[in-house]
């Protein structure tokens, strides 16, 4: 079976948007996402087979392609750019970094480290592509842990 090229897929997505309209395709994407959610839940409870989940993943993938075309301009692909950014973040996390839940981390703030046992004081803050890296002071001496430099969460407000 011949596979469609990326160019052919984009043309079909654009044709579908032209035929049924952007708002209708957005609603269809919502419907397909809902069906995928239901299928995953049923599969998790062993009520359906994986093939049914695969069908729903395919439907959502097609609708996601149409949504990407809906937001694309001649010179700008914001969805593609966002995907690349999120893949870079995923790569960093897979390479040992942990996502921070704190939106604002400041020098002097008390933070809970990834081991969920050690409280430390932030000594220096650096950001890179949405990740927060810190130097911290623990027990009076400065430390840098390159393999676990991302904070998991800040101290809850009292």
- Residue 155 has what pLDDT? 42
Express the helix, strand and coil content of the chain in percent, nearest 5 each. Answer: 50, 15, 30
Among candidate residues 57, 47, 154, 67, the one with its CA nearest the CA of residue 107: 154
- Residue 81 has what pLDDT? 86
pLDDT digits (tens, 9 = 90+) for 20-52: 999 999 999 999 999 999 999 999 999 999 999
C-alpha to C-alpha distance for 40 and 58, rounded to whole angstroms: 13
DSSP 117: S
CA 44 to each of CA 39, 48, 58, 61, 151: distance values in angstroms, whole numbers, following the listed order: 8, 8, 18, 20, 32
C-alpha to C-alpha distance for 12 and 145, rounded to whole angstroms: 50
pLDDT digits (tens, 9 = 90+) for 113-150: 666 666 777 777 766 655 566 666 665 444 444 334 44
Radius of gyration of the chain (CA): 22
- Please give the mean pLDDT across all residues of the chain: 78
- Residue 117 has what pLDDT? 66
Domain ranges of the chain: 6-72, 110-154
Reported for 121-127, long-range contacts at CB under 8 A and 24+ positions apart, including other chains, are 122/151
Residue 7 confidence (pLDDT) above 90: yes
If you count them, how many residues does the chain have? 158
Whether pTM exceeds 0.75: no
Residue 156 confidence (pLDDT) above 50: no
């Amino acid at each position: 079976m011949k596979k469609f090229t990326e160019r052919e897929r984009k043309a079909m997505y654009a044709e579908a948007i032209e035929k049924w309209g952007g708002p209708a395709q957005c609603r269809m994407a919502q419907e397909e996402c809902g069906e995928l959610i239901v299928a995953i839940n049923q599969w998790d409870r062993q009520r359906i087979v994986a093939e049914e989940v695969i069908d729903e993943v395919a439907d959502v993938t097609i609708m996601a392609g149409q949504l990407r075309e809906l937001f694309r301009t001649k010179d700008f692909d914001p969805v593609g750019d966002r995907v690349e950014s999120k893949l870079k973040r995923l790569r960093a996390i897979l390479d040992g970094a942990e996502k921070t839940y704190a939106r604002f981390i400041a020098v002097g703030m008390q933070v809970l480290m990834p081991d969920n046992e050690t409280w430390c004081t932030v000594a220096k803050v650096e950001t890179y592509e949405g990740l927060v890296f810190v130097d911290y002071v623990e027990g009076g001496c400065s430390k840098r842990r390159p393999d676990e430099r991302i904070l998991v969460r800040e101290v809850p407000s009292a």
